[in-house]
A and B are shown apart, each in its own frame.
Chain A
Amino acid sequence: MSATLERGLNALREQIDAPVASFFSSCVSCGLCAEACIFYRSTEDPKYTPIRKLDLMRRIWSREFTLLGRIAGMFGLVKPVTDDDLKEWETLVYDSCTMCGRCSLVCPVGNDITMMIRKMREGMSASGHAPVELIGAAERHTDKGSPMGELQPALHAQVKHAIAETGIEIEFDKPGVDYMVILSAQEIAEFPDVLAAMSRIFKKAELTWTISNEAFEATNVGIQLGNRDVARMLVQRVVDAAEKLGVKGVISPECGHAYQALRWEGPNLIGRPYKFEVIHIIELLDKLRGEGKLKTKGKNSQKLTFHDPCQINRRGGINQEPRRLMNMIAENFVETDDAGTMNWCCGGGGGVGANERAEPLRHQAFKLKKTQLDKVEPEAIVTMCAYCHHTLDNVLEEFNMEQEVLGLTELVAEYLDDDLNDKNAAGADA
């Protein structure tokens, strides 16, 4: 079986529902979505106007989902979508959209353009017009358990390391615990300190947790690719593992689209609610803070700012939680312009970061974020998404910027009021 135009068109047809129809019916081509788009604003090229990226889907909707469009189609007024069209749109849909969701918040008629891009990618991928990097990642994830390939050995090594560092045991595949932790490939490969951080925080809060050998990978390339079969299969792995272990909840790690995939899309992909709750690590930390189970000592004296990951804040609804945590541990917390719901994307989301040909555009797009950072001049940037973390690390280097990027969980753990910190503090004093 391989990708074909007909499968692509069918996939698009399957995606069109009442919201999509109401969105296309409402668009007055005012162009305001462009002003919200990171790619238009950084290049001023009108082809990046968000709603234009959906034109092919609009044509299918018009031709096949409206009586009048059918008639107009008969007279050749609405052209059918061809494979060449899809090919032409590939870069628009994958390279110049991080699905950051800003356009969906400014559209005066209320069109959720981002949601439609997600749907549009279903058709693109089914017709064979997805970027090769994303397809490759999907294949690796399917066959080897992670988009980066075989990561289980690395994970075990990192866990061992964390146990050694903290002196706290981490058990794999332990049934009946409070939480099952999943991690993004980026964390396992680049930011493993999060393991030790979580371990200490949970210990202090008296939470029990485990990691499943069957499903430790949180990312879901099916979401970025726009393929619900792939996405469903990957969600199912996590759901099966969690339900087998009988955990109370699954902790979604510092990863934007992973939260989106498991928390919001997942139940719809597998067609039923889970038997456990999904909670984002920052949501959980804030909850523990509220319950008095998370206490910190001392504060970071650096000038810190916070970068909101689009999928977690704007598209995920986690806005105040990280700010409350920041205020708990930061002495000098400054916000950039547009911080919070309207924060600019790091430029790497929605699969754009993995897409090699999109690199120049991605760098161009970062200039908007850079301007905001230059204005507040932070010493370090805190975030709650490993992929934002990864993207910012790279792009800051590209622009010769000095700032350090920090994960919020690790930062919280650094000021955790526990024995290890006491010991370290004592060691430092001595």
Chain B
Amino acid sequence: MANKPMLSELMKTHGISRRAFIKYCTSLASVMALSPAMVPRIAEALENAPRPSVIWLSFQECTGCTEAITRSHAPTIEDLIFNAISLDYHHTLQAASGHAAEAAREHAMKEHYGKYVVVVDGSIPIKDPGYSCIAGISNLDMLKETAAGAAAIVSVGTCAAYGGVGHADPNPTGAVAVSEIIKDKPIINVPGCPPIPVVMTGVLAHFLTFGIPELDELGRPKAFFGESIHDRCYRRPFYDKGMFAESFDDEGARGGWCLYKLGCKGPTTKSACATVKWNNGVSFPIEAGHPCLGCTEPDFWDNGGFYKPLSVPAGDYRKLGLAAVAGGAAAGVAGALLAKAGKAKAAKAHETVDAHDLEKSS
């Protein structure tokens, strides 16, 4: 696996023309939100990219991220990007198993110490590390051990990036994100449940060409997570015109109106879904008629109900409101009674006067 041909060689052997490669680079630039002027540089960098060894660690996860990334129907240049890396360990995909598999990981770590890339999907339980083990090694230990010699870590999926579903309340396993454990390595978060495959390859492409991309405060590449879904949503004009679907089966829903009132989290969710879309650009949740769940955001499971509009209070405020009415009424009665007592006292103290009592004696 170690002596893979360079990308240009690969293209030649696959009969891919330079023109196709330029087309890919152009589209890649568009996906990464880079200027079209950058295309020549991308092409050059991709051709001469080093081929880092990649160790893929899967912890508390559903394999959805791996599924997503391997679900390309047609062989594309994305495949080539993957071919350009040396995936030395991925316990779901690799042929080897058991000791042989672990040996491959240890070998890669030793061979490429300080240079390999660790890709993680899944959260890490820390309440009891024994909740999730691979080959008898707890996730926590394996992450620490593997991360020690890594050049960078890519946390793929919301679980690895932010804890995800495992971290959701009440978090029985004490699941945490990679960044909670590893503090001394650059970490690129590629959240999403799962992340868009093109985004994953785009990040890898960026890493191969220009190194670690510019990240936002949540460790996400700005190129893909710089703007909210709401801002890029093709249904945004309906929002601006005040046209909303009120249920999943009304005129608005059929007419493709804005899904804000059905709980769409687009306004607070940063992701490229609305532009890059899913399944090779076929569609994305909102286009399919479902509000955005906000899966690229930390704690999206617990950020209010999926079908609750963002502007709606998250708590059980109705009961509280009724309690407040009762409490306010009680306090009001108390206050009024105090006031009335004062007034009654004043009335009692009232001595009928006549016109001769209106001047001060002094």
Q: Do chains A and B touch in the complex (CB under 8 A)?
A: yes
| Interface: B288 (CB within 8 A) | no
Could you say which residues of chain A place their CB within 8 Å of the CB of B338?
67, 70
| Interface: A300 (CB within 8 A) | no
Q: Smallest CB–CB gap between B248 and chain A, Å?
A: 45
Q: Smallest CB–CB gap between A220 and chain B, Å?
A: 12
Are B359 and A126 in contact, CB atoms less than 8 angstroms apart?
no
Known: A3-B357, A125-B358. A14 touches B350 (CB 8 A): yes
| Interface: A10 (CB within 8 A) | yes
Are A130 and B342 in contact, CB atoms less than 8 angstroms apart?
no
The winner among B338, B345, B358 for most chain A CB atoms within 10 A is B358
Considering the chains assembled together, what is the distance between the CA atoms of A16 and B349 in angstroms? 15
Are A3 and B359 in contact, CB atoms less than 8 angstroms apart?
yes
Are B356 and A139 in contact, CB atoms less than 8 angstroms apart?
yes
| Interface: B355 (CB within 8 A) | yes
The listed residue (A67, A70, A230) touching B353 by CB distance below 8 A is: A230
Chain B interface residue bracket vs A:
20 to 34
Are A233 and B354 in contact, CB atoms less than 8 angstroms apart?
yes
Could you say which residues of chain B place their CB within 8 Å of the CB of A4?
360
| Interface: B13 (CB within 8 A) | no
Could you say which residues of chain A place their CB within 8 Å of the CB of B354?
142, 229-230, 233
Considering the chains assembled together, what is the distance between the CA atoms of A57 and B120 in angstroms? 72
Are A138 and B339 in contact, CB atoms less than 8 angstroms apart?
no
| Interface: A11 (CB within 8 A) | yes
Are A126 and B342 in contact, CB atoms less than 8 angstroms apart?
no
Are A67 and B331 in contact, CB atoms less than 8 angstroms apart?
yes
Q: Smallest CB–CB gap between B335 and chain A, Å?
A: 3
Are B358 and A130 in contact, CB atoms less than 8 angstroms apart?
yes
| Interface: B347 (CB within 8 A) | yes
The listed residue (A2, A7, A9, A67) touching B334 by CB distance below 8 A is: A67
| Interface: B169 (CB within 8 A) | no
Q: Smallest CB–CB gap between A17 and chain B, Å?
A: 8
Known: A2-B361, A11-B350, A67-B338. A16 touches B343 (CB 8 A): yes
Considering the chains assembled together, what is the distance between the CA atoms of A141 and B355 in angstroms? 9
How many A-B pairs have beta carbons closer than 8 Å: the answer is: 81
Are A230 and B355 in contact, CB atoms less than 8 angstroms apart?
yes
| Interface: A38 (CB within 8 A) | no
Q: Scoring A residues 1 to 34 as 1 if CB is less than 8 Å from chain B, else 0, what string do you get?
A: 1111011011101101000000000000000000
Q: Smallest CB–CB gap between B360 and chain A, Å?
A: 4
Could you say which residues of chain B place their CB within 8 Å of the CB of A205?
none
| Interface: A66 (CB within 8 A) | yes
Are B355 and A135 in contact, CB atoms less than 8 angstroms apart?
yes
Are B346 and A10 in contact, CB atoms less than 8 angstroms apart?
yes
Are A3 and B355 in contact, CB atoms less than 8 angstroms apart?
no
Could you say which residues of chain B place their CB within 8 Å of the CB of A345?
none
| Interface: A117 (CB within 8 A) | no
Considering the chains assembled together, what is the distance between the CA atoms of A175 and B354 in angstroms? 30
Are A10 and B353 in contact, CB atoms less than 8 angstroms apart?
no
Are A67 and B335 in contact, CB atoms less than 8 angstroms apart?
yes
The listed residue (B334, B335, B347, B352) touching A229 by CB distance below 8 A is: B352
The listed residue (A3, A10, A16) touching B358 by CB distance below 8 A is: A3
Could you say which residues of chain A place their CB within 8 Å of the CB of B349?
6-7, 10
* Cβ-closest chain B residue relative to A234: B355
* Cβ-closest chain B residue relative to A124: B358
Q: Scoring A residues 220 to 231 as 1 if CB is less than 8 Å from chain B, else 0, what string do you get?
A: 010001010110
Q: Smallest CB–CB gap between B342 and chain A, Å?
A: 5
Could you say which residues of chain A place their CB within 8 Å of the CB of B334?
67
Could you say which residues of chain B place their CB within 8 Å of the CB of A16?
339, 343
| Interface: A253 (CB within 8 A) | no
Known: A4-B360, A130-B358, A135-B359. A13 touches B352 (CB 8 A): no
Considering the chains assembled together, what is the distance between the CA atoms of A16 and B342 in angstroms? 11
Q: Scoring A residues 136 to 154 as 1 if CB is less than 8 Å from chain B, else 0, what string do you get?
A: 0011011100000000000
Are B355 and A2 in contact, CB atoms less than 8 angstroms apart?
no
Are B342 and A138 in contact, CB atoms less than 8 angstroms apart?
no
Known: A14-B350, A229-B353. A64 touches B358 (CB 8 A): no
| Interface: A172 (CB within 8 A) | no
* Cβ-closest chain A residue relative to B355: A138
| Interface: A65 (CB within 8 A) | yes
Are A1 and B353 in contact, CB atoms less than 8 angstroms apart?
yes
Considering the chains assembled together, what is the distance between the CA atoms of A7 and B358 in angstroms? 10
Could you say which residues of chain B place their CB within 8 Å of the CB of A14?
343, 346-347, 350
Are A128 and B350 in contact, CB atoms less than 8 angstroms apart?
no
Could you say which residues of chain B place their CB within 8 Å of the CB of A125?
358
Could you say which residues of chain B place their CB within 8 Å of the CB of A64?
339, 342
Could you say which residues of chain A place their CB within 8 Å of the CB of B355?
135, 138-139, 141-143, 221, 227, 230
Could you say which residues of chain A place their CB within 8 Å of the CB of B353?
1, 126, 227, 229-230
13 additional contacts, CB 8 Å, given A2-B361, A142-B354?
A: A1-B353, A3-B360, A4-B360, A7-B349, A7-B351, A14-B346, A14-B350, A67-B332, A128-B360, A135-B355, A138-B355, A229-B354, A230-B354
* Between-chain CB contacts (< 8 Å), 16 pairs: A1-B351, A2-B357, A4-B360, A10-B350, A13-B342, A13-B343, A13-B347, A14-B343, A14-B350, A70-B338, A128-B359, A143-B355, A225-B358, A227-B353, A229-B354, A230-B354
Residues of A within 8 A of B (CB): 1-4, 6-7, 9-11, 13-14, 16, 64-67, 70, 125-126, 128, 130, 132, 135, 138-139, 141-143, 221, 225, 227, 229-230, 233
